[in-house]
Chains A and B, each alone.
Chain A
Amino acid sequence: MSTQEDKERLELLQGTLDLLILRTLIFGPQHGQGIARAIQQTSEEELLVEHGALYPALQRLEERGWISAKWGTSSNNRKARFYSLTAAGRKQLGKETTKWKRLTAAIGRILESEGG
C-alpha cells in the first residue's frame, strides 16, 4: 500500500492527532478532507495522516463535545460535513498545547544533553 514517498514522512505519535485536529479548526470550520490537507500542508508534508484514521478521531472529539459538526457545501459546491471548534474544545486545545510544549521541551532537553 504505502509508497516510497510515504516512508519518508513521519508517523503521528499516539494521541497527537486530536491535538492537531483541534489546532486546525482554530482557523474556522472545516471538513475532514480539508483537515487532512491542512495538517499535511502546515507540516510542510512532513506528517503522514492516514485519512481513514481521521474520522474515528473526529467522531471521538465530537462525542466529547470539543467540536461540533453539521453538513454543508464545500467551496467547489460539494456536500461535506463541516466541523467547528466549541468553547470547550478551545479550552481543551489550550491545555493540550501547554502539555505538549512541556513534553517536547523536556524530551528536547534530555536529547540535547545526550547529544552534547
Chain B
Amino acid sequence: MFRRKRQASDFSAEIEAHIRLETERLREQGLGEADARAAARRAFGNVTRTQEQFYESGRWLWWDYLWQDLRFALRLLRKSPGFAFVAVATLAVAIGANSVVFSALNAFLLRPLNVPQSESLYGLQFGGGHRGALSYPNYVDFRDRNRSFDGLAMYQMTRVGLDTGRNPTRAWLYEVSGNYFDVLKLQPYLGRFFHSSDEHGAGSAPYIVLSYAYWHGHFQDDTGVVGRTAEVNKRPYTIIGVAPPEFRGTFLLLSPDFFVPMVSFEDENDLNRRAGWWIFETVGHLKAGVTPQQAAGDLNAIGDYLQKTYPKDNGKMKVSLSRAGLYGDTFGRPIRGFVTALMLLAALILLAACANLGSLFAARAADRSREIAVRLALGSSRLRILRQLFTEALVISLTGGAIGILGGSLLLRRLIAWNPFPQFPTNVPLHPDTNVYVLAALLAFVSGILFGAVPVKQVLQTDPYEIVKSGSVTKLGRRVTFREALVAVQIAICALLVTSSMVAVRGLMRSLHSNFGFEPDDVMLADTDLAMAGYPDDAVPAMQKRMVETMQTIPGVTAVGLANCPPLAGCGASRASIFTDETADLSPSNVAASPMMYQISPEFFATAGAPLLAGRGFTWHDDKNAPRVAVINETFARKIFGSQANALGRYYKSWNGTRIQVVGIVRDGKYASLTEEPQAAMFVPILQTPSSQSFLVVRSESDRWQLAGAIRSKVLELDAGLPVFIQTWPEAMDFFLFGSRMATASLGVLGALGAILSITGIFGISAYSVSKRLRELGIRMALGAQWKEVLAAALGRALKLLAFGSAAGLLLGILASRVLASIVYQATSRDPLVLTGVVVAMALLGLVATWIPAQRALSIDPAILLREE
C-alpha cells in the first residue's frame, strides 16, 4: 500500500523525453524545428489529460481526497467554534455515557466471572421451601450423585476475626468445599490450593488461601507468607497459598479476603445436620454435551430422592440452574433488568444526540447551499460534496467519541475505587476492556454516519441554477418536518427521563422519612461477634449482658439494646419456620409461616423506638430457665392467630417443636428491604436463643464521633481481642437505599443529559427557523406586527413541538414509573409535585432553548434587512 510508484515529475519527464525524440525523428524527415515540435505534440494528444490520468490512477488519490476533505472540515469547524463545541461535547457526553453503562453491562452480563470456561459454569437455585441453599449432607449427596457436572463445589460467606499476628481485624471469608478451586479449574498464584483429599471430617484441613487483593493489601506482596500461621476466630490456621489476581470469588457482589475449607471451620453438628439450609451457593461446570435442562432434571431426581429418604429434614426441592456470579435470580434478575434498562436509556441518549446533530447538520448544509451550488456549477460531483460532508461529520463524531471514551474510563476508574459499603468488599470488575473500546469506537463511527446522512437528500436535490440565481430558496413547510419529528422525539425522551428522575427523587425522599417500624435516627450500631474473640457458646450471654451494662455507663446514652441483627442493618437477618400450636407432624410441608426472626435483649424495643402495641417486652429473666416467649408483629398475629387481640397469650411451635408463648405485639416494620410488603416477624429473647454475633444498639443524642469513640474504648476495655465495627443505624440502612439511590442518581444524570440534548435540539431548530425566515419576519414587522406575533411566527412551531413532546414524554414517564417502583421505594407518578415539576422543568427548558433565537427575531430591523436583500 505504501509502495508509492512514480513521482508525477518522473512521468512528466518521460513525456518530455517522448516529445523530444519524436521532434528529432520528424526533423530527420526534413521538417523545421517549430513544425516538428508542433507535429510531435499533435501526435501526442492532450498532455494535461494524460498527466491527470496518471494522477488519478495513483493509489494515493483516495488519501489525497481524504486529506483535502479533512483540512476543509477542520477549517470550517474552526470558523464556527460554537457549532463545533456543541457537536463534539454532545457526542462526547453521549458516547461517554454509553461506554460507562456498557462497561456495567459487560461486567454483569457478558463476562460474569473471571474463571476459565465461565460459559459452562452454573449455579444451583433451589425453589420451593428452600430459599436457595443446602445443608452440608445434602450438598454432599448432590455432589456425589449427580451425573451432569464436572464436580460440584459450594461456598458460604462468613465474616470472621482474622489475627495474623497483629491487631485482630474483621475479614470476609468463603468457607468452601475442598474441591472448590479444582472445580473452578484455577491455579494458585503462590503456594498451593487445598483439595478434596485434604478433607478428613470436622476440624481437618485448617488451611487458608488468601485472595490476591488481601495479600497485596495486608502482606505487601510478601511471598514469605506461605507457611505462616494465622488465627481465624482464635483457631490456628496455616496460610498455604494465594489465589490468582483475576479471581475474586464466585459472587460478584462480595469478594472474600480469604478462603478456608468448610470442614475446618464448622463443627461436627453443622456438618452432619441435614435439616436447614445455610450453604450460600453450589456451583459447577456442566459436563460437555449436557444441557442445563438435562442437568436440572438430573438434580431434581436427586432432590426427590433426598426428600423421600429424609422426609423429616427435607421439603420439596425444585432445582434450576442459572449462570454463576449473581446468585441466580435473587440478585441477578433485578441487576440484569436495571443494567439492561440503563443501556437502553443510554442508547436512547445517543440516538437523541444523533437526531440533534443531524438537524444541526441539515441546518448547516442549508446555510451552505449557495457554496454547494457554486461547487456543483463548477463541476464538482455530488458524491464528492457528500464525501466532504461525511468527513466533517466523522471528524466530529470521532473526536467526540475519543473524548467520551477518555472521560468514561476516568469515571469508571473512580467507580471501581469507590466502595459504597466499607464492610462489604464488592467484586464488580467494571474495568473497560476491548469490548468497551470497540463498542465506543463503533458507536462513534455509526453515529457520525447517521447524522451525516441527514442532509444527503438536501444535497442531492440541490439545483445550482436556481440557488445561484435567486439566493437561498427556502421551502419551509415540508423540508423541516423530518427534523421537527426528530426534535419532538428528543423532547419526549427528555420529558420521560425528567419525569422518571423526579418520581425517583420523590420516592427516595419519602423512603428516607417513611415508617420503618422503628426510629433509626440517633442510634448507633456496634457490630461484634464474640466467636471472633474465641468465646465458647456458654460464655456468650454473660459477656453480652456485661457489654450492655457497660454501654449504659457512657454519658448521654439514653438506652442500650442488643440484637443478633437489627432490622435493615444489612447483616442478613434470618428466617425461621414455625408451626401452629395444633400441628403434631413437624414436617416441612406443614410449616405455617417463615417469619423473620430477631434475637434481642430486653431493652431492644425501647432503644430502637419500636412501639409495643400490646403485652410486654422481655426482661433479663426471660432466659434459658424461663418458659419460652416471643413478641410478634401485627402481620404475624393476623396470619397465624387471625387478629391481634386473639394472639396475646397464645402459643406457636418453633422448628423443633418447642412451644412458644406470645407475650407482646409490636408494630409492623420493614425488615429485609424498603420496598417489601408487610411481612411476619418475631422477636425472641437472645438469652433463650443465643447468638454470638450481636449488634449493640445504643441510643444517644450526643455527637456521633464522640459516641463511636466511647463505644469502641468501652469494648476494648472489656476485651482487647474483640473486633468491633461501629456505624449509625441510618448509615447501615444505606445498604437498602443503595439501589434506589443509584437508580435515582442514574436517572438524574440521564435526565440532565436528555435536557442538554433537548435544549440544543430546540435551539437548533428555532435558530434555523429564525435565520431562514428573517426576510419574512422583517416584512411582517414593517407591516406592523407586534412582538407577540413575530415570536409566534418565528418560534411557534418549536414551542408546539415542545408542548407535544413534553406531553408524550410525561405520559410515557407515568407508565415507566411502575417499573421504577420495584427499585425505588414508594415511587409513584400520582404526585402533584412531580407533575407540576415536569411541566415547569420543560417550560424552563423551552425558555432557555429559545432565548437567543427569540432575541434575534425581536432585534430585526426591517429597514436594514429589506435593503440588504
Main secondary structure of the interface of B (DSSP, over half): helix
Nearest CB in chain B: distance from A36 CB, A: 8
Contact of A51 among B11, B44, B57 (CB under 8 A): B44
Q: Are A51 and B20 in contact (CB under 8 A)?
A: no
Within 8 A of A (CB), among B1-50: 5-6, 11, 14-15, 17-18, 20-22, 24-25, 42-47, 49-50
Query: Chain B residues with Cβ under 8 A from A37's Cβ?
Result: 25
Q: Does B54 contact A (CB under 8 A)?
A: yes
Q: Are B17 and A51 in contact (CB under 8 A)?
A: no
Known: A52-B49, A55-B14. A33 touches B54 (CB 8 A): no
- In the bound complex, how far is the Cα of B314 from the Cα of A13, in angstroms? 93
27 A-B contacts (beta carbon < 8 Å): A31-B18, A32-B17, A32-B18, A33-B25, A34-B21, A36-B18, A50-B43, A50-B44, A51-B22, A52-B15, A52-B47, A52-B49, A52-B50, A55-B14, A55-B15, A55-B54, A56-B50, A56-B54, A59-B6, A59-B54, A63-B57, A76-B21, A78-B17, A78-B20, A79-B17, A80-B14, A80-B17
- In the bound complex, how far is the Cα of B786 from the Cα of A96, in angstroms? 82
| Residue of A3, A51, A53, A76 with most chain B CB atoms under a 10 A cut-off | A51
Nearest CB in chain B: distance from A66 CB, A: 14
Q: Are A33 and B50 in contact (CB under 8 A)?
A: no
Query: Chain A residues with Cβ under 8 A from B42's Cβ?
Result: 1, 3
Contact of A33 among B21, B45, B47, B57 (CB under 8 A): B21
Contact of B53 among A50, A56, A78 (CB under 8 A): A56
Contact of A31 among B6, B21, B45, B57 (CB under 8 A): B21
Q: Are B49 and A74 in contact (CB under 8 A)?
A: no
Known: A59-B54, A59-B57, A63-B5. A53 touches B20 (CB 8 A): no
- In the bound complex, how far is the Cα of B6 from the Cα of A116, in angstroms? 53
Nearest CB in chain B: distance from A49 CB, A: 9
Q: Does A60 contact B (CB under 8 A)?
A: yes
Which A positions have Cβ atoms within 8 angstroms of B? 1, 3, 31-34, 36-37, 50-53, 55-56, 59-60, 62-63, 74, 76, 78-81
Q: A59-B5, A78-B21 are in contact. List 4 more A-B contacts (CB 8 A).
A: A36-B22, A53-B50, A56-B54, A59-B57
Nearest CB in chain A: distance from B331 CB, A: 63
Residue of B nearest to A63 (CB): B5
Q: Are A52 and B44 in contact (CB under 8 A)?
A: yes
Q: Are B54 and A81 in contact (CB under 8 A)?
A: no
- In the bound complex, how far is the Cα of B31 from the Cα of A87, in angstroms? 40
Query: Chain A residues with Cβ under 8 A from B18's Cβ?
Result: 31-33, 36, 51, 55, 80
**When A and B form their complex, which 10 residue pairs have the shortest distance between CB atoms, in order from nearest?**
A52-B45, A33-B21, A51-B44, A52-B50, A50-B45, A56-B53, A33-B18, A81-B14, A52-B44, A80-B17
Known: A52-B46, A53-B45, A55-B54. A32 touches B14 (CB 8 A): yes
- When each residue 89-123 of chain B gets 1 if its CB lies under 8 Å from chain A and 0 otherwise, what string results? 00000000000000000000000000000000000
Query: Chain A residues with Cβ under 8 A from B21's Cβ?
Result: 31, 33-34, 74, 76, 78, 80
Query: Chain B residues with Cβ under 8 A from A33's Cβ?
Result: 17-18, 21-22, 25
Which B positions have Cβ atoms within 8 angstroms of A? 5-6, 11, 14-15, 17-18, 20-22, 24-25, 42-47, 49-50, 53-54, 57
Query: Chain A residues with Cβ under 8 A from B22's Cβ?
Result: 33, 36, 51
- In the bound complex, how far is the Cα of B54 from the Cα of A68, in angstroms? 17
Query: Chain A residues with Cβ under 8 A from B17's Cβ?
Result: 31-33, 78-81
| Residue of A1, A59, A78 with most chain B CB atoms under a 10 A cut-off | A59
Query: Chain A residues with Cβ under 8 A from B15's Cβ?
Result: 52, 55
Contact of B11 among A1, A34, A36, A55 (CB under 8 A): A55
Query: Chain A residues with Cβ under 8 A from B20's Cβ?
Result: 78
Query: Chain A residues with Cβ under 8 A from B49's Cβ?
Result: 52
- In the bound complex, how far is the Cα of B14 from the Cα of A33, in angstroms? 10
- In the bound complex, how far is the Cα of B60 from the Cα of A27, in angstroms? 34
| Residue of B24, B25, B50 with most chain A CB atoms under a 10 A cut-off | B50
Q: Are B57 and A56 in contact (CB under 8 A)?
A: yes
Nearest CB in chain A: distance from B62 CB, A: 16
Nearest CB in chain B: distance from A4 CB, A: 13
- In the bound complex, how far is the Cα of B50 from the Cα of A60, in angstroms? 13
Residue of B nearest to A51 (CB): B44
| Residue of B15, B21, B45, B46 with most chain A CB atoms under a 10 A cut-off | B21
- In the bound complex, how far is the Cα of B50 from the Cα of A53, in angstroms? 7
Query: Chain B residues with Cβ under 8 A from A59's Cβ?
Result: 5-6, 11, 54, 57
- In the bound complex, how far is the Cα of B18 from the Cα of A34, in angstroms? 9
Query: Chain B residues with Cβ under 8 A from A51's Cβ?
Result: 18, 22, 43-45
Query: Chain A residues with Cβ under 8 A from B45's Cβ?
Result: 1, 50-53
Nearest CB in chain B: distance from A14 CB, A: 15
Query: Chain B residues with Cβ under 8 A from A31's Cβ?
Result: 17-18, 21
Nearest CB in chain B: distance from A58 CB, A: 9
Residue of A nearest to B14 (CB): A81
Residue of A nearest to B20 (CB): A78
Nearest CB in chain B: distance from A64 CB, A: 12
Nearest CB in chain A: distance from B55 CB, A: 10
Query: Chain B residues with Cβ under 8 A from A62's Cβ?
Result: 5
Residue of A nearest to B49 (CB): A52
- In the bound complex, how far is the Cα of B5 from the Cα of A36, in angstroms? 23
- In the bound complex, how far is the Cα of B54 from the Cα of A32, in angstroms? 15
Q: Are B24 and A78 in contact (CB under 8 A)?
A: yes
- In the bound complex, how far is the Cα of B496 from the Cα of A81, in angstroms? 73
- In the bound complex, how far is the Cα of B38 from the Cα of A79, in angstroms? 21
- In the bound complex, how far is the Cα of B21 from the Cα of A36, in angstroms? 11
Nearest CB in chain B: distance from A9 CB, A: 12
- In the bound complex, how far is the Cα of B5 from the Cα of A50, in angstroms? 24
- In the bound complex, how far is the Cα of B50 from the Cα of A65, in angstroms? 21
- In the bound complex, how far is the Cα of B6 from the Cα of A62, in angstroms? 11
Query: Chain B residues with Cβ under 8 A from A76's Cβ?
Result: 21, 24
Nearest CB in chain B: distance from A53 CB, A: 7
- In the bound complex, how far is the Cα of B54 from the Cα of A53, in angstroms? 11
Query: Chain A residues with Cβ under 8 A from B14's Cβ?
Result: 32, 55, 80-81
Nearest CB in chain B: distance from A2 CB, A: 9
Residue of A nearest to B47 (CB): A52
Nearest CB in chain B: distance from A57 CB, A: 10
Nearest CB in chain A: distance from B712 CB, A: 83
Query: Chain B residues with Cβ under 8 A from A78's Cβ?
Result: 17, 20-21, 24
Query: Chain A residues with Cβ under 8 A from B44's Cβ?
Result: 50-52
- In the bound complex, how far is the Cα of B704 from the Cα of A25, in angstroms? 99
- In the bound complex, how far is the Cα of B24 from the Cα of A28, in angstroms? 22
Query: Chain A residues with Cβ under 8 A from B5's Cβ?
Result: 59, 62-63
Query: Chain B residues with Cβ under 8 A from A81's Cβ?
Result: 14, 17
Residue of A nearest to B5 (CB): A63
Query: Chain B residues with Cβ under 8 A from A79's Cβ?
Result: 17
Residue of A nearest to B52 (CB): A56
Nearest CB in chain A: distance from B591 CB, A: 85
Nearest CB in chain A: distance from B88 CB, A: 41
- In the bound complex, how far is the Cα of B42 from the Cα of A79, in angstroms? 21
Q: Are A55 and B50 in contact (CB under 8 A)?
A: yes
- In the bound complex, how far is the Cα of B666 from the Cα of A57, in angstroms? 99
Nearest CB in chain B: distance from A34 CB, A: 8
- In the bound complex, how far is the Cα of B12 from the Cα of A55, in angstroms? 10
| Residue of A3, A34, A55, A63 with most chain B CB atoms under a 10 A cut-off | A55
Residue of B nearest to A58 (CB): B14
- In the bound complex, how far is the Cα of B14 from the Cα of A78, in angstroms? 11
- In the bound complex, how far is the Cα of B44 from the Cα of A103, in angstroms? 30
- In the bound complex, how far is the Cα of B50 from the Cα of A1, in angstroms? 16
Known: A32-B18, A51-B45, A78-B17. A60 touches B24 (CB 8 A): no
Query: Chain A residues with Cβ under 8 A from B53's Cβ?
Result: 56
Residue of A nearest to B50 (CB): A52
| Residue of B14, B15, B45, B53 with most chain A CB atoms under a 10 A cut-off | B14
Query: Chain B residues with Cβ under 8 A from A80's Cβ?
Result: 14, 17-18, 21
Query: Chain B residues with Cβ under 8 A from A34's Cβ?
Result: 21
Nearest CB in chain B: distance from A25 CB, A: 16
